[in-house]
Every structure is written in C-alpha cells, then in structure tokens.
Amino acid sequence: MKELGQKVLAGDIRAASRLIRNLEDQIPNTHIAMQEIFHKTGNSHVVGITGAPGAGKSTLTDELISAYRKKENTVGVLAVDPTSPFTGGALLGDRIRMLRHAEDKGVFVRSMATRGAMGGISKAVGEGIHVMDVLGKDKIIVETVGVGQQEVEIINHAHTVIVVLVPGMGDEIQALKAGLMEIADIFVINKADREGAGKLYKETLNMVNMAKDSGGWKIPVLMVETVLEPNKFAESVEVLRDKIDEHYQYLTDNKLLSERMRRKTTAELNEAVWSTILQPILNDLNAAGEMNKMIDQLLAKETNPYSLAAEVARRYMK
C-alpha cells in the first residue's frame, strides 16, 4: 500500500483510480497509502455542487469542466451517485455524461457510490479529494447525489458550495429553509428558460437578503440558461466559474480559508477515528453473529441500546 501511495505522488492516474476504488471498498491497510500522501494535500480549491434530483447538476458540472479548461485549470471531479443495491457500485455513472473530457489529461472524473450515506456524501469522498489534490488538480468539483434536504454534509468537504435550484419542481423555498440556505455560497437557478424561473429568482434573492450576515460575502443568485442554447449556456456557466473563483479569492483575502480547512479537517479526523476504532468493532460483532443477537434482544425488549453499547465499550476499550 505504501508503494501505491508513492505512485499516486508521482502522478500515476491508474494508481490514483485504484486507490480511490480501495477507499470505496474499504480494502484493509488502504490507510497506509493515505498516510503516504497526506502531507502533500491542501492545495486544491474544492467546489461542492448540491441540489435536488433533476436539478441538472451533472450537466452544470460537465460545462464547468469546459469553462475551467478554457482557463487552463486542471480539474478533478468526484460524482457521488446512489448505490446499486446489487453491486454496491455507483448506479448512475456520471462519467457517462462527461465522456467528451475522457481524452483530456487535465481532467480526471470518478464516480463514487454513497453506500447509504445520509448526507449525500460517501465517506470515501473526503479521502478521494486528497487523492485528486495530490495529483495536482487546481479545481476539484464534488457533485453530490440529489437527496434534497440531507445534503448539508457537503459543507464539511468544500471551500465553495453551490446550491442548484430549478423552477417547477415544487416547494424549492421550503428546501432552502430546511438547511441548504445555511451552506450556500452561491445559488444557481438552472434551466432558467422554464416558467417560474423569475419568481424563484426573486424568492431566493429575498431569502438571501433576509438571511444572517454571511461575513461580508454577499451570496450571489445566478441564472443559468438552458442547455438547448449551447452558446448562452456556456456563457452563463463562465459567469458562474468567475463567481466561484471570486469566492475563493474572498476567503483567501479575508483569512477565512483556514476556518473552512479546519472544519474539513475536523470532519476527516472524526471519520478516521470512526473507521479505526468503531468500524473494526462492528465488523467483529457482525462476523461473530453477536450483532444479530443484540438486535433480537432489543426487538424482544429484553434490554436497551444504551446498556448494550456500554457492554461493548467495556469489552473492547479496556
């Protein structure tokens, strides 16, 4: 595994793909490769794109890649898909939508499965970001699975969070009130040719204006034209690209980047502690059949989760 990490440090794309796959599959000792590369991380601008299913996030991401390549920025994309119940792999396969970038050595696109993660983010995504960072990608775009109100976890991984809204999908503003409002650095009204786009724009703008002070950054609300008009669509995505870069510059100039990095690092430490301490215990309990026995006890009301957890802690954490 140490050799795998060294290959990634040397810029080996195949090694990077293999490492990300190992992270997803929770292959034993993969952390050794991560230990090898961690000291070289923290150089990329991580952009999170989130929103409800059908909001057009993948189409937006695809065009954003092109917009950044025009500026000669290298781009990594982690497209987080729902998990297939049969294979455990990514179900939608966003790479299919982004095939036009397949021959571009400055672009690396990888689909990852949520594996049941409630926040729309796979646990391996944070580590996948590190892998792309070490490959030297200027921009890393994390596109999350569309699970609506649960997607706030993206804030633990991204420096800049884009919330994508689309008119005509029902009660968009309720979704904003439920948590997405607090994580957005930029709002995008996608498919702006649709009926109701103007109304959604005004409502979102009103909510931004009424929201608590965002520390000096005025959250922009951008309209993105329909993909059916390629030139207009490309122009509006370039405006979005420039606004993303402006936000990153704002964080840097106002010394706020370290605050976001600290939040990201805190989340990663929590995940590392969980996978190092708790996951092996759960694996052991499952392998011994004890987990099912405990569940049966709980269903029969013979005990309670708190007593069982205390018993497990006494046994494993001496």
The structure's pTM equals 0.84
Q: Are residues 46 and 36 in the same domain?
A: no
Q: What is the pLDDT of residue 120?
A: 37
Q: Are residues 189 and 309 in the same domain?
A: no
Sign of CA dihedral 99, 102, 106, 108: positive
Cβ 60 vs Cβ 188: under 8 Å: yes
Nearest Cα residue to 58 out of 166, 159, 134: 166
Domain assignment present for residue 33? The answer is yes
Q: Are residues 122 and 211 in the same domain?
A: yes
Q: What is the pLDDT of residue 174?
A: 53
DSSP β-ladder status, 139-143 and 186-189? unpaired
Q: Are residues 157 and 305 in the same domain?
A: no
Q: Are residues 118 and 18 in the same domain?
A: no
Q: Are residues 52 and 30 in the same domain?
A: no
Q: Tell the burial category of 289 from Cβ atoms under 10 Å away from its Cβ (0-12, 13-18, 19+).
A: exposed
Q: Structural domain tally of the chain?
A: 3
Count CA atoms within 13 Å of residue 185 on its CB side.
Answer: 26
Q: Are residues 228 and 293 in the same domain?
A: no
Q: Are residues 172 and 92 in the same domain?
A: yes
Domain assignment present for residue 261? The answer is no
Cβ 220 vs Cβ 241: under 8 Å: no
Count CA atoms within 13 Å of residue 166 on its CB side.
Answer: 19
Q: Are residues 60 and 106 in the same domain?
A: yes
* Buried b / exposed e along 2-39 (16+ C-beta atoms within 10 A): eebbebbbeeeeebbebbbbbbbeeeeebbebbebbbe
Distance of alpha carbon 293 from alpha carbon 154, whole angstroms: 36
Q: Which two tokens stand for residue 145?
A: 């699975």
Q: What is the pLDDT of residue 220?
A: 94
For residue 3, the enclosing domain spans 1-40
Q: Are residues 30 and 80 in the same domain?
A: no
- Per-block mean pLDDT, blocks of 10 residues, the chain (318 long): 91 92 84 91 93 84 94 92 46 55 86 54 78 95 67 81 83 57 87 85 85 76 87 93 96 89 85 83 92 94 93 87
Distance of alpha carbon 178 from alpha carbon 307, whole angstroms: 34
